[in-house]
Each structure stands twice: as C-alpha cells, then as structure tokens.
C-alpha cells in the first residue's frame, strides 16, 4: 500500500486510532494530527501572543514535542492534551517576554549611572541592543533559559527545577543561545562580551 493510501486511510480514523499509530512511530499519524489541529491551536496561540510568528513557532514546537514524547505518552484525549500543552507553552513565552521587559527596565535605570565614557556608553547600549535582537530569533524556551542564567544569575539546577527540564535540556538551550551570540558579537568589546555572555 502506498504512503498516499495510508495517509488517506488515516483520515478515516478517530483520534485514538491515530494516536496509537503515532506511538508506534508512524510519521503519517503525526502529519494527520497536525492537519486536524494546527489551525485551531494557531488561533489560540495568536489570540494570546498577538504575534503570528510566535504563534506559529509555539504550535510547531508542540508537535515536535509530541513526536519526541510519542513512546511515553499517556493521553486519552488528543485535543485536551494539545490545548493543555499549548496553554503552558504560551505561559512560558509570556514569562519570557516579562523577563525581557524587566531586564530592559533594569538596564535603562542602572546603565546610565555606570562610569563609562560617552563612547563606551554607546558601545554598551549597542551591545545590549544586539543581544536582545539576536535573542528574539531564538525559540521562547531558549530565550527564557538564557535570561534566567545570564541576566538573573540562576544556576542550571535552579533553572531545571523551575522550568521542569533536565539539566541537559537547560545546557542545550544555553549552548544554543551562546553559539548564536558568539557568532553575532565577534566585533564587540571582549570585556563586555565576557561580562554578559561567558559567565
């Protein structure tokens, strides 16, 4: 039987049957669930975040996680699971945005008081702006991990506990953010780079 025929037959199955196929490693089952739910999930995410890009990313990440966790899923209702998981992803993204805004308030209040020359102050502000711009290119979870580590000084175990992630997952997100920033900050002061990125 061809892949097209198999996909066609999946459309006739109920969610529970498709979910069983997914847990058995059937990628077409994932595609079928995505087709059934992506738009409704996207609408919810967009209503909450007001960002089409973020909404799309949250939904895509949700299905990536569904595939990665397929063998250990304990799900009775796919729709309940997907919308519940999306709710927590949205909360995480909003928390990340709040952390971002708090950091901006912090640096606006304290940075002008630093004993910098005008040239150094401009370089410092330029560096901060570049860091923030580059961070926004990363997934919300990666942004959150980086900010908790570098801006709030939290340790990997503390971040793991608060975000319900493994230490390795936190290290992965941190490494991902640092790799991007190292590439983008090559032209900036080495001291400022160490201060903000390489602690």
pLDDT of residue 119: 53
The pTM assigned to this predicted structure is 0.48
pLDDT of residue 90: 85
Ramachandran region, residue 164 (left: φ > 0; alpha: ψ -120 to 50; beta: rest):
left
Mean pLDDT within 174-188: 73
Q: Following CA atoms 91, 92, 98, 102 in sequence, which dihedral angle do they give, to the nearest 10 degrees?
A: 150
* Better-scored residue on pLDDT, 196 or 54: 54
Please write the tens of the pLDDT for every residue from 35-50. Answer: 999 999 999 999 988 8
Please write the tens of the pLDDT for every residue from 62-100. Answer: 898 888 888 887 888 888 889 998 988 888 777 766 666
Q: In the predicted model, what is the mean pLDDT of the chain?
A: 76
Please write the tens of the pLDDT for every residue from 97-149. Answer: 666 665 555 555 445 444 545 555 555 566 677 777 888 888 999 989 988 88
Report the percent of the chain where pLDDT is more than 90. 9
pLDDT at 57 over 80: yes
């Amino acid at each position: 039987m061809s892949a097209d025929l198999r996909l066609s037959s999946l459309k006739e199955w109920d969610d529970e049957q498709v979910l069983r196929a997914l847990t058995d490693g059937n990628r077409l089952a994932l595609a079928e669930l995505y087709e059934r739910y992506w738009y409704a999930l996207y609408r919810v995410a967009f209503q909450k975040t007001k960002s089409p890009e973020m909404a799309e990313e949250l939904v895509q990440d949700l299905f990536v996680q569904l595939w990665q966790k397929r063998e250990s899923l304990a799900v009775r209702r796919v729709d309940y699971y997907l919308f519940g998981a999306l709710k927590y992803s949205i909360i995480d993204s909003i928390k990340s945005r709040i952390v971002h805004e708090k950091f901006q308030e912090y640096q606006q209040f304290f940075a002008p008081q630093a004993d910098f020359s005008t040239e150094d102050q401009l370089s410092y502000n330029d560096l901060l702006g570049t860091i923030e711009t580059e961070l926004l290119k990363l997934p919300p979870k990666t942004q959150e991990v980086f900010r908790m580590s570098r801006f709030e000084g939290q340790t990997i175990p503390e971040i793991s506990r608060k975000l319900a992630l493994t230490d390795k997952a936190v290290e992965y997100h941190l490494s991902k953010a640092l790799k991007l920033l190292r590439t983008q900050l090559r032209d900036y002061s080495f001291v400022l780079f160490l201060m903000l990125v390489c602690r």
